[in-house]
């Protein structure tokens, strides 16, 4: 009986390492992105913005696609909150990602900001760039 117990215990101990937890370095950036996206979908702009900021601080260079998305969401949040830097964030996004799949929406958001400021000629320029 003792031999069986020791054998089973040894067997369990050998496989315990296979189910180790992920390190915080692997999990934290993705957690921030996922949480930020969920909050964005719920229109919780401020909390979402903070999560995307944290994601960008911790994300590695290999996560270029997710970093692009995080910057897009942050620019959209700046627009939704009508932050004073919203137009700058949207223009910087377009400059950094000129072939982004989101560029039409970004052009329209900048156009709306220009329209709200009664800069109708500028607004029309941006709206004309929307495909």
Q: pLDDT (tens digit, 9 = 90+) per residue, 49-102?
A: 999 999 999 988 777 889 999 999 999 999 999 999 999 999 999 999 999 999
Q: Please work out, in degrees rounded to the nearest 5, the angle formed at the alpha carbon of residue 104 by the alpha carbons of 98 and 110.
A: 90
Q: What's residue 63's pLDDT?
A: 79
Confidence band (pLDDT; 50, 70, 90) for 2?
low
Query: Global pTM?
Result: 0.76
DSSP-assigned letters across all residues of 61-125 = TT-HHHHHHHHHHHHHHHHHTT-TTHHHHHHHHHHH-TT-TTHHHHHHHHHHHHHHTT-HHHHHH
């Amino acid at each position: 009986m003792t031999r069986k117990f020791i054998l089973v215990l040894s067997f369990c101990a050998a496989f315990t390492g296979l189910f180790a937890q992920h390190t915080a370095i692997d999990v934290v950036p993705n957690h921030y992105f996922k949480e930020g996206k969920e909050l964005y979908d719920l229109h919780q702009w401020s909390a979402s913005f903070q999560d995307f900021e944290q994601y960008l601080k911790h994300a590695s260079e290999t996560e270029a696609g997710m970093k692009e998305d995080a910057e897009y969401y942050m620019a959209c949040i700046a627009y939704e909150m009508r932050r004073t830097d919203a137009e700058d964030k949207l223009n910087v996004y377009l400059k950094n990602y000129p072939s982004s799949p989101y560029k039409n929406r970004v052009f329209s958001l900048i156009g709306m900001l220009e329209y709200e400021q009664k800069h109708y000629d500028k607004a029309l320029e941006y709206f004309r760039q929307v495909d």
